Amino acid sequence: MSIAGLNQVVKRMHFNQLLGIRVTRTHSDGVTIECPLRQELMNAMGVLHGGVTATMADAAVGISLWRHNNGSRPHTTVEMKLNYLAPVVKDRIVARARLVRVGQHLCVGHVDLFEGRTKRVGIAIVTYMML
């Protein structure tokens, strides 16, 4: 499934649309998604709200899984864990997800989060269940 095709899917995910998330790369084991920063996504201190980072982690694994299954199986997030390593203050937030386990019922993804292309600002583990 192409990047353009995935972005058609993302358009139907309302909250991802509200944030401005789009897929920018595909990999053998996952996808990279991005979201440009803007004031509505920030907290009171002028840094990106932790909820946006969490949304990126969740979405990056969900879209990776959607692509892996070619959209054939619905899934839902079971649990998520994020560590925030540095504040995100400019440019965009980027999430690179890797599927580390794709089982019959449970799938686990690991996510590296970046401010811009290279500054790592977080890591996450997300578990999905196939419905």
Binding footprint of a second copy on the chain (CB under 8 A): 9, 12-19, 39-45, 47, 49-52, 54-56, 58-59, 62, 74, 76-87, 100-101, 105-106, 108, 110, 120, 123, 125, 127, 129
Q: Report in angstroms the alpha-carbon separations of 39 from 19, 22, 61, 98.
A: 11, 18, 25, 29
Least distance (Å) from a second copy to the CB of residue 112? 9
Among candidate residues 62, 82, 76, 78, the one with its CA nearest the CA of residue 10 = 62
Nearest approach in angstroms of CB 25 to a second copy is: 20
Tell me how far apart the 2 most distant CA atoms of the chain are, in Å: 43
Shorter beta-carbon distance to a second copy: residue 85 or 90: 85
Task: Report the candidate in 115, 94, 125, 117 with the shortest Cα–Cα distance to residue 31.
Answer: 94
Read off the DSSP letter of residue 33. Answer: E
CB of 24 to a second copy, least distance (A): 18
Smallest gap from residue 91 Cβ to a second copy (A): 17
